[in-house]
């Protein structure tokens, strides 16, 4: 199973301008349980930015990209880059398993939310 360690620390390339970012974290919206990837511009990246306790720790450098929109405009590096993972999943493997990875992350992250948000589902929200 692919865990967040395979994503955190990987370089990410924006397709339309080839700008480079680093995936520093995942974020879940407690209201609708939408997952986002938290990217930081490579030019401003330091390894201390990986897995921040709060998004505010990244300052103005953080960009949240919704999981479901990510593959439309971004591509993962073929290398581990700054990842602590021993695995080296390339973009094609991640893309083929994207929705399964999302499902696994959601099942892992939702129980970590405060109790009042755990029962929220997308169908609860128009």
Query: Which secondary structure element, helix H or strand E, spans residue 67, and what is its range?
Result: helix 67-73
Whole-number pLDDT of residue 125 = 42
Taking only Cα atoms into account, the Rg of the chain, rounded to an integer number of angstroms, comes to: 14
Number of domains in the chain: 1
83-101 confidence digits (pLDDT tens): 888 777 889 999 999 999 9
Q: Which residue has the tokens 């479901």?
A: 68
Q: What number is the average pLDDT over the span 71-85?
A: 90
Whole-number pLDDT of residue 126 = 36
Whole-number pLDDT of residue 56 = 87
Q: In this structure, what token pair is assigned to residue 73?
A: 């405009």
pTM here? 0.86
Determine the Cα angle at 26 with ends 58 and 48, to 5°: 40
Q: Is there a contact between 36 and 26 (Cβ–Cβ < 8 Å)?
A: yes
Who's near 57: CB < 8 A, 6+ residues apart? 49
Which one-letter DSSP state was computed for residue 119? T
CA nearest neighbour of 90 among 81, 101, 77, 99: 77
Whole-number pLDDT of residue 122 = 53
Query: Which secondary structure element, helix H or strand E, spans residue 14, and what is its range?
Result: strand 11-14
Q: What number is the average pLDDT over the span 57-72?
A: 93
> What does the alpha-carbon distance between residue 26 and residue 66 come to, in Å, rounded to a whole number?
10
Q: What is the mean pLDDT of the chain?
A: 88
Range of the domain at 88: 4-124
Q: In this structure, what token pair is assigned to residue 110?
A: 């939702």
């Amino acid at each position: 199973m692919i865990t967040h360690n395979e994503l955190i620390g990987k370089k990410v390339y924006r397709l339309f301008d080839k700008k480079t970012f680093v995936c520093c974290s995942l974020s879940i919206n407690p209201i609708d349980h939408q997952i986002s990837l938290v990217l930081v511009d490579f030019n401003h990246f330091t390894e201390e930015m990986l897995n921040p306790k709060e998004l505010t720790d990244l300052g103005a450098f953080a960009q949240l990209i919704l999981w479901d929109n990510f593959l439309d405009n971004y591509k993962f590096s073929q290398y581990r880059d700054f990842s602590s993972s021993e695995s080296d999943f390339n973009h094609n493997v991640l893309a083929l398993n994207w929705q399964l990875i999302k499902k696994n992350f959601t099942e892992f992250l939702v129980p970590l939310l405060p109790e009042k948000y755990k029962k929220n589902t997308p169908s609860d929200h128009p």
